[in-house]
Amino acid sequence: MADLVAAELRRSITVTMKHLSASSLMPASQGNLSARDRDTGNVVITPHAYPYEDMTPDDLVVLDPDGEQIGGRLDPSYDALLHVGVYKARPEVFAVLHTEPPYVNAFGALGRDILPVTTTGLKSANGTIPIMPFRHRRDEAFTTEMLEVMGDSHGVVWQNHGLLVVADTVENAAERTIGIEFNAQVMHLALRAGEPQTLERVGADMIVA
């Protein structure tokens, strides 16, 4: 029988979440990460409320493209159906990562969009990271609204909660998340001294906006 998902995806998810957790991009067992297998279309995702330091590739949960659990002994992340909804709506996306980085969250709490003030930020975010107003329930309507707010950006902030980033690979989702948090930190520092200049992309070039 063919594997439900590639072993490499399981390894990437486990290694990435241990690294991001150790880098303080989310507290304790918060956050979640999934990938879509390019051959089977199945989604492999971190389990609900499970410590990252203990997590092994076998602890991950596998869902079919409609979100039914077809592998793993643990419950999937609370946001599993949100991940599945993103994959259904965005065929080019193969990794979805939710973290709770402090500088990103500070701008989220203020309801203030995160502007590209660094080249890393512009590349990571593909422009501005918008803030989605706080919603208690993360249901199907939440996913629809979130994708609308996100638009062409690689990420969106859930106000008073955290960041969601999409990418073509697990590694790129992690790199974008780290870049977006770095950019938010620089924006915070710059705002303490004045009004930062921002960047924008014009074709393949970056220019000062």
Contact residues: Zn ion, CB under 5 A: 30, 162
- For the chain, the first-to-last Cα distance in angstroms comes to 54
Q: Which is nearer to Zn ion, 33 or 117 (CB)?
A: 33
Q: Which is nearer to Zn ion, 101 or 127 (CB)?
A: 101
State the residue number with the nearest CB to Zn ion. 162
Which tokens is 15 given? 């290694």
Report, in Å, the least distance between residue 146 CB and Zn ion.
13
Task: Name the residue among 55, 58, 53, 54 with its Cα closest to residue 3.
Answer: 58
Q: Which is nearer to Zn ion, 26 or 63 (CB)?
A: 26
Residue positions counted in the chain? 209
CA–CA dist 129, 191 (Å, integer): 17
Report, in Å, the least distance between residue 38 CB and Zn ion.
27
Q: Which is nearer to Zn ion, 30 or 126 (CB)?
A: 30
Report, in Å, the least distance between residue 100 CB and Zn ion.
5
Which tokens is 46 given? 């971190």
Report, in Å, the least distance between residue 39 CB and Zn ion.
29
CA–CA dist 188, 166 (Å, integer): 24
